[in-house]
Chains A and B, each alone.
Chain A
Amino acid sequence: MGQTVEFTDTEFMICTAARLLEDRKTVFVGWGMPQLVAMLAERLYTPQLVQLFEFGAVGPQSLTPFVRGTMGGPTNVYRSLQWSNMNWAFSYAAAGYLDYGMIGAAQIDAYGNVNSTLLGGTYERPGRRFPGSGGGNEVASLCWRTILVMKHEPRRFVERLDFMTSPGYLDGPGGREKAGLPRDTGPWRVVTSKAVFGFDHETKRLMLLGVLKGLSGSGVLEGMEFRPPVVESVGEIGPPTEDELRVLRREIDPSGIIIRGERMQAAR
Chain B
Amino acid sequence: METIIQGSAKIRFSHPDDFRQWVREHKRREMVEKLTTERDAIARLVADGDYIAYDFSSLTRGPQALVREIIRQRRKDLWVCAEFTLHETALLVGGGAASRIDVGFLGYGSYVGRAVSEGRVRVFDWTNGALAARMLAGARGISCMPMRSMLGTDTLRHSGARVVRDPFTGDPLCLVPALNPDVFLLHVHQADVYGDARVFGTNLFAPEAAMAARKVILSAEVIVDPQEFRRDPARTTLPYFLVDAVVHLPFGAYPAGVQACYDLDLEHIDKLNAIQTEEQMQAYLAEYVYGVQDHAEFLDRKVGWRKLQDLVRRATIREGYH
Partner-B contacts on A (CB < 8 A): 31, 53-57, 63, 67, 69-75, 77-80, 83-87, 90, 94, 113, 117, 121, 123-138, 141-142, 161, 163-167, 170, 175-176, 178-182
**Chain A hits for B60, CB < 8 A:** 70-73
Residue of A nearest to B159 (CB): A133
What are the residues of chain B within 8 A of A55 when measuring CB–CB? 56, 84, 202-204
Residues of A with C-beta under 8 A to B128: 54, 86, 90, 133-135, 138
Closest beta carbon of chain A to B81's beta carbon, Å: 12
Q: Are A74 and B315 in contact (CB under 8 A)?
A: yes
For B132, give its contact among A90, A126, A167 (CB under 8 Å): A90
Majority-rule SS of A interface residues: loop
Known: A74-B315, A132-B125. A165 touches B154 (CB 8 A): yes
Provide the bound-state CA to CA distance between A138 and B207, in Å: 21
With contacts A126-B116, A165-B153, A181-B152 taken as known, whether A131 is within 8 angstroms of B132 at the C-beta atoms is: no
From residue B139, how far is it (CB to closest CB) to chain A in Å?
A: 10
Question: A163: which B residues are within 8 A, CB to CB?
Answer: 154
Question: Known: A70-B60, A131-B107. Is A179-B125 also a contact (CB below 8 A)?
Answer: no
Contact surface of B with A, Cβ cutoff 8 Å: 56-57, 59-61, 83-84, 86, 103-109, 112-114, 116-117, 119, 122-123, 125-129, 132-133, 136, 147-155, 158, 163, 166, 171-174, 201-208, 257, 259-260, 264, 266, 269, 315, 317, 319-321
Most chain B CB neighbours (cut-off 10 Å) among A86, A136, A138, A141? A86
Q: How far is the CA of A134 from the CA of B108 in the complex (A)?
A: 13
Is A138 in contact with B59, judged by CB distance below 8 angstroms? Answer: no
Distance (whole angstroms) from the CB of B284 to the closest CB of chain A: 17
Closest 9 A/B residue pairs (Cβ): A180-B172, A129-B113, A179-B152, A134-B105, A141-B149, A86-B132, A74-B317, A138-B129, A72-B60
Q: A56 — which chain B residues lie within 8 A by C-beta?
A: 202-203
Provide the residues of chain B in CB contact with A132, threshold 8 Å: 103-106, 123, 125-127, 155
List chain A residues, Cβ under 8 A from B129. Answer: 54, 86, 90, 135, 137-138
> Bound complex: CA of A83 vs CA of B321, how far in Å?
11
Q: When chains A and B are docked, how far (Å) is the Cα of A178 from the Cα of B266?
A: 46
The chain B residue with its CB closest to the CB of A119 is B113
CB distance from B206 to the nearest CB of A (A): 7
Q: List 4 extra interface pairs beyond A74-B260, A85-B202, CB under 8 A.
A: A94-B147, A130-B113, A141-B151, A182-B148
A178 CA to B165 CA, complexed, in Å: 12
Residues of B within 8 A of A128 (CB): 113, 117
What is the CB-to-nearest-CB distance from A66 to chain B, in angstroms, rounded to a whole number? 12
Question: Given the known A-B contacts A72-B201, A74-B315, are A138 and B264 also in contact in the complex, defined by CB atoms under 8 Å?
Answer: no
**Cβ distance B198 to chain A, nearest Cβ, rounded Å:** 13
Partner of A85, one of B153, B206, B257, B260: B206
How far apart are the CA atoms of A183 and B147 in the complex, in Å?
14
Give, as a whole number of angstroms, the nearest-CB distance from B161 to chain A. 11
Q: Could you say which of A63, A78, A141 has the most chain B C-beta atoms within 10 Å of its C-beta?
A: A141
Chain A residues whose C-beta falls within 8 Å of the C-beta of B158 in the assembled complex: 123
Contact call A70/B59, Cβ cutoff below 8 A? yes
B97 nearest CB across to chain A (Å)? 19
A203 to B2, CA, bound (A): 31
Q: A137, B203: Cβ atoms under 8 Å?
A: no
Q: Which residues of B contact A113 (CB under 8 A)?
A: 153
A137 touches B149 (CB 8 A): yes
Given A131-B109, A137-B129, A180-B171, also A77-B155 (CB < 8 A): no
Contact, CB under 8 Å: B153 / A137: yes
The residue from A84, A117, A131, A179 contacting B151, defined by CB atoms under 8 A apart: A179
Asked if residues B113 and A126 are in contact (CB atoms below 8 Å), the reply is yes
B203 touches A85 (CB 8 A): yes
When the two chains form their complex, are residues A94 and B113 in contact, meaning their CB atoms are under 8 A apart?
Answer: no
| Given A70-B59, A90-B129, A129-B123, A181-B155 contact (CB < 8 Å) | no
Q: When chains A and B are docked, how far (Å) is the Cα of A115 from the Cα of B115?
A: 20
Provide 28 A-B residue pairs closer than 8 Å at the C-beta atoms, listed in order of the A residue.
A55-B204, A56-B203, A67-B266, A69-B59, A69-B86, A71-B60, A72-B202, A73-B59, A74-B259, A74-B260, A83-B201, A85-B132, A85-B204, A85-B206, A94-B147, A126-B117, A128-B113, A133-B103, A137-B149, A141-B148, A142-B149, A161-B154, A165-B154, A167-B152, A167-B153, A180-B163, A180-B171, A180-B174
Nearest B residue to A130, CB-CB: B109
- Min CB distance, B274 to chain A, in Å? 14
Q: Taking the nearest CB of chain A, how far is it from the CB of B273, in angstroms?
A: 8
Contact between B86 and A180 (Cβ–Cβ < 8 Å)? no
Tell me if B202 and A77 are in contact (CB < 8 A): yes
In the bound complex, CA of A36 to CA of B119 (Å): 36
User: A55-B204, A73-B257, A180-B171 are contacts. A134–B151 as well, Cβ < 8 Å?
Assistant: no
Q: Which of B113, B114, B208 has the most CB of A within 10 A?
A: B113
With both chains docked as a complex, state the minimum distance between the C-beta of B169 and any C-beta of chain A, in angstroms. Answer: 9
- Per the bound structure, the CA–CA distance linking A259 and B105 in Å amounts to 23
A128 to B150 CA separation, bound complex (whole angstroms): 22
B150 to chain A, nearest CB (A): 6
A170 CA to B320 CA in the complex, in Å? Answer: 42
